[in-house]
């Protein structure tokens, strides 16, 4: 055998080991708070002296707070630990129609939010986003700003490069916000942000998960092997722009017959308008209400959308074989209408020897993207959740 080149061998230094242990302790407190030092040692397997050193460091950095004390049947009263809610994060959710700027604590609890129409000019959008951020920074310790985008971006440049439904040109979004606020900005595709929210705050106990977001378009976020999948150029997961029917309607990306032109909210509205002259100004939530009130044409439009959603999910099942598919969007309010149709379509095409994934509607009132922006900032400090004991 040829000798191993020493420059390719990476040895875990004591600093790396300490950082891993620190993140393990932080995650355990986050997931199980309130938690005593003794419980931390027992669950993590770390020595009590190591736990004490890490906890004192986290308290000194104001990440962790002490109190109250427990009441055991005998022995010394334990002091419980919890995350410091005074450390806050700014979440920004940019959508084609509206943008939301919200303030949250490190546990993902939102304390305030401002919603505004999304401008057509990205420069105007930056100015309008920065204003409430600066107001929120007053007397607050801001850990960072997380931004959810309805498209893809260049991670190195912070530049938006593919957002057909937003219709902005290629634009450096990160640097102007950082320069105006003095706070570090993390950006992520909206579907990927929803994956982070599911893993961090919903504690999805799986290493193979796909999130499908259904709104003006369709986005997919992939979590496999315990990690978020971004692909070589950050474009992994664009199933919404895979053509189901190449001769179909024109998509915002420039192609024809993409999955999202058949299965998005806008597609359902189009189906309804083709059968009715009363669709002007109608929103998707209005269409859901009409169907619930017995409007047969609205029901048929939603059923057609559901069939196409299931057909598109066949690609995901055949290509990725996820254990779970989480569906996020306003359609989950009428899951009794969508769920059975989608499940039937998916089951019809499961390959021999395979098994259909569990479909989970996320009834989260549109907060998944915002919670994902919080997780986006927190993961810099807390690391990869799969490395933490369950």
- Average pLDDT in the 297-324 region? 94
The pLDDT assigned to 94 comes to 94
**Which residues 6+ apart lie within 8 Å of 142 measured at CB?**
88, 89, 90, 136, 183
% of the chain beyond a pLDDT of 70: 91
What's the rounded mean pLDDT across residues 278-305? 91
Which residues, other chains included, contact 349 with Cβ-Cβ below 8 Å and sequence gap of 6+?
A: 314, 317, 318
User: Alpha-carbon distance 388 to 386, whole Å?
Assistant: 5
Q: Is the pLDDT of residue 11 over 50?
A: no
Q: Please compute the mean of the pLDDT values over residues 340-365 and round it to a whole number.
A: 86
Q: Which two tokens stand for residue 11?
A: 């040895």
- pLDDT of 264 > 70? The answer is yes
pLDDT at residue number 310: 96
Average pLDDT over residues 42-59: 90
For the chain, give the mean pLDDT.
86
Positions of E strands within 135-285: 141-149, 152-154, 159-162, 171-172, 185-189, 208-214, 218-224, 227-228
pTM for this predicted structure: 0.81
Name the token pair of 98. Answer: 């509206």
- Band of residue 126 on the pLDDT scale cut at 50, 70, 90: very high
Give CA angle at 262 (258, 264), nearest 5°. 100
What pLDDT is recorded for position 365? 67
Residue 152 is predicted with a pLDDT of 85
Pairing state of beta strands 159-162 and 79-83? unpaired
- How far is CA 105 from each of CA 58, 108, 135, 143, rounded to the nearest angstrom? 17, 6, 16, 10
pLDDT band at 208 (very low <50, low <70, confident <90, very high): confident
Q: Mean pLDDT across the stretch 235-260?
A: 92
Is residue 1's pLDDT more than 50?
A: no
Q: Which of 74-83, 228-237, 308-317 ranks highest by mean pLDDT?
A: 308-317
């Amino acid at each position: 055998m040829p000798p191993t080149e020493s420059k390719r061998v990476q040895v875990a230094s004591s600093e790396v080991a300490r950082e891993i242990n620190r993140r393990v302790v932080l995650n355990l407190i986050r997931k199980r708070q309130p938690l005593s030092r003794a419980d931390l040692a027992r669950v993590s397997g770390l020595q009590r002296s190591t736990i004490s050193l890490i906890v004192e460091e986290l308290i000194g950095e104001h990440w962790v707070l002490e109190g109250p004390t427990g009441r055991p049947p005998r022995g010394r009263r334990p002091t419980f630990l919890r995350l410091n809610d005074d450390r806050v994060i700014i979440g920004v959710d940019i959508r084609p129609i509206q943008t939301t700027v919200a303030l949250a604590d490190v546990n993902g609890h939102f304390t305030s939010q401002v919603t505004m129409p999304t401008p057509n000019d990205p420069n105007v959008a930056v100015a309008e986003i920065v204003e409430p951020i600066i107001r929120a920074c007053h007397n607050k310790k801001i850990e960072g700003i997380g931004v959810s985008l309805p498209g893809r971006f260049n991670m190195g440049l912070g530049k938006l490069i593919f957002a057909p439904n937003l219709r902005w040109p290629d634009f450096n979004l990160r640097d102007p916000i950082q320069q105006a606020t003095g706070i570090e900005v993390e950006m992520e595709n909206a579907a990927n942000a929803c994956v982070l929210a599911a893993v961090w705050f919903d504690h999805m106990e799986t290493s193979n998960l796909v999130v499908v977001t259904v709104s003006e378009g369709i986005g997919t976020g992939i979590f496999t092997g315990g990690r978020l999948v971004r692909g070589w150029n950050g474009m992994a997961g664009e199933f919404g722009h895979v053509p189901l029917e190449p001769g179909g309607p024109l998509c915002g990306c420039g192609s024809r017959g993409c999955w999202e032109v058949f299965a998005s909210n806008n597609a359902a509205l189009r189906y309804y308008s083709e059968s009715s002259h009363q669709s002007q100004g109608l929103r998707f939530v209005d269409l859901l209400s009409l169907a619930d009130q017995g409007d047969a044409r609205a029901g048929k439009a939603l059923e057609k959308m559901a069939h196409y959603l299931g057909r598109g999910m066949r690609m995901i099942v055949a290509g990725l074989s996820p254990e779970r598919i989480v569906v996020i969007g306003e359609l989950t309010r009428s899951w009794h209408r969508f769920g059975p149709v989608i499940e039937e379509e998916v089951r019809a095409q499961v390959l021999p020897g395979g098994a259909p994934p569990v479909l989970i509607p996320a009834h989260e009132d549109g907060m998944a993207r915002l919670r994902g922006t919080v997780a986006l900032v927190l993961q810099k400090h807390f690391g990869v959740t799969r490395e933490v004991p369950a």
